[in-house]
Amino acid sequence: MNSSPTSAAHSSSDPDVFPDGPATFRNHTPGRDVNDIDDLRDRLPRFTGGRELMEPRVVLLDLDGTLIERGQPVPGAARAVVELRRAGHTVRIFTNTDSQSEATLVDRIRRLGIPVALGEIFTPVIAAREILAATPGSRVLVLADRAVRDELAAHRSPDAGPPTHVVVGDCRETLSYPALDAAFRAVRAGAELLALQRGRYFRAADGDHVDTGAIVAAIEFAAGKPARVLGKPSQDFLRLAAQSAPADLLWVVGDDGTTDIPMAITAGATSVQVRTGKYLDQQATEALPRPTHTINSIADLPALLPPP
C-alpha cells in the first residue's frame, strides 16, 4: 500500500524546494514501487475537476447526415467509429428511422462499411418495443407498414382485449381510412398514442411526401389527446438510447440543430455538431442553439475525444 502524504519519505532536496508543496510532489520518491502510478491516477480526478479526463464516454452518433449522406458513408466515418471503440468509448448509433426493422437497418449500415452490431443501434421502433416490453399486459395496435408491425408482433394480440397502446410509424404503403379510424377509436377509448416520430414531411428523389407526424396529428385532433413522441428530440428517447449513462459521460453527435443538439443540451450532455448533412441549410435559415463543439465532419471526432 502507498504511504500517506504525511508519512512519505522525502528526497533530500524536496523540503527545500517544496516545503509545503502539493501532495503529489511531497509524495514522490524515486524508486518507489509502481503503485505510485495508481496512486497518482486516483488523485488526478480531484485536480481536473472530476472524471472529465478519466472515464470512457457513451457516444451517440446520429446516422443520416452524420455517418452517411445521400446514401453513402461520410468520408472517415467507419474509421472514426473504429477509433472511438478502440479508445475504449461505447459507441451507439441513433436515428429517427421509423420504417425499418433493427436487423434491416444494421445490415444497411454494415454494407456501407460502418461497423455496427445488433444492440448498438437505437431507433423509435426499438424504443416502442422496450416501452411495451416494460408494460405488463400491453396490447398494441400498430398503424405502420409491415417491417414495424413485425418488429412489435410480440405485443399485438387483437383478440385479447382493447389496445393499451397505438403506435404510429411510417405507413405510406398500407394506410387506409379503416386503419386510421381504428387507431382513432382505440386512442379515444383510452389507449396511449405513441408516435415513432413527428416529421411533417420528408424529402425523396421525386419530391416531398406526407410524413408520420401528419398522421399522428390527425389522430390527436380527432381523439383530442396528445401523442407521446418516441423519436428525437424526446428526452425519453435519449435516456433509452444512452442506457442510463450519466449526462457528464454522454456525448451526442449530430448534424441537426433542431433535434440532436437541443436534445443533448436539455439533457446536460456534451453536444457535437458536424458540418455535414443539414448543417449548412440550417445555418442559413434558422437561429439555433450553440453546441458544445462544432467539427467539420465525423472524421474529426476521435481527435476531439481522446482515449480515457
Interaction site with Mg ion (CB under 5 A): 62, 64-65, 255-256
| Cis omega (within 30 of 0) for bond into 233 | yes
Question: Measured from the CB atom, is 192 or 256 closer to Mg ion?
Answer: 256
Question: Measured from the CB atom, is 26 or 278 closer to Mg ion?
Answer: 278
List C-alpha distances in Å: 67 to 72, 79, 231, 243, 269: 9, 11, 18, 21, 20
> Rounded distance, CA 281 to CA 279, Å?
6
How many angstroms separate the first and last alpha carbons of the chain?
25
> Rounded distance, CA 124 to CA 240, Å?
10
Question: Measured from the CB atom, is 62 or 170 closer to Mg ion?
Answer: 62
- Distance in Å, CB of 187 to Mg ion, minimum: 29
- Distance in Å, CB of 94 to Mg ion, minimum: 10
Could you write out the DSSP letters of every residue in 134-150? TSTT--EEEES-HHHHH
- Distance in Å, CB of 274 to Mg ion, minimum: 9
- Distance in Å, CB of 223 to Mg ion, minimum: 31
- Distance in Å, CB of 278 to Mg ion, minimum: 6
Question: Measured from the CB atom, is 98 or 256 closer to Mg ion?
Answer: 256
Query: Which H or E element spans position 71?
Result: none
> Per the structure block, which three cell numbers stand in for 119?
444492440
Query: Which H or E element spans position 22?
Result: none
Position with the least CB separation from Mg ion: 65
Question: Measured from the CB atom, is 62 or 192 closer to Mg ion?
Answer: 62
- Distance in Å, CB of 242 to Mg ion, minimum: 17
Nearest alpha-carbon partner for 9 in 23, 28, 24, 22: 28
Identity of residue 287: A
> Per the structure block, which three cell numbers stand in for 253?
453527435
- Distance in Å, CB of 238 to Mg ion, minimum: 14
- Distance in Å, CB of 67 to Mg ion, minimum: 9
Question: Measured from the CB atom, is 65 or 169 closer to Mg ion?
Answer: 65
Q: Counting Cβ atoms within 10 Å, is residue 293 exposed (0-12), middle (13-18) or buried (19+)?
A: middle
Question: Measured from the CB atom, is 277 or 302 closer to Mg ion?
Answer: 277
Question: Measured from the CB atom, is 72 or 174 closer to Mg ion?
Answer: 72
> Per the structure block, which three cell numbers stand in for 242?
444512452
> Per the structure block, which three cell numbers stand in for 73?
458513408
Q: Do 107 and 99 meet the contact criterion of CB atoms below 8 Å apart?
A: no
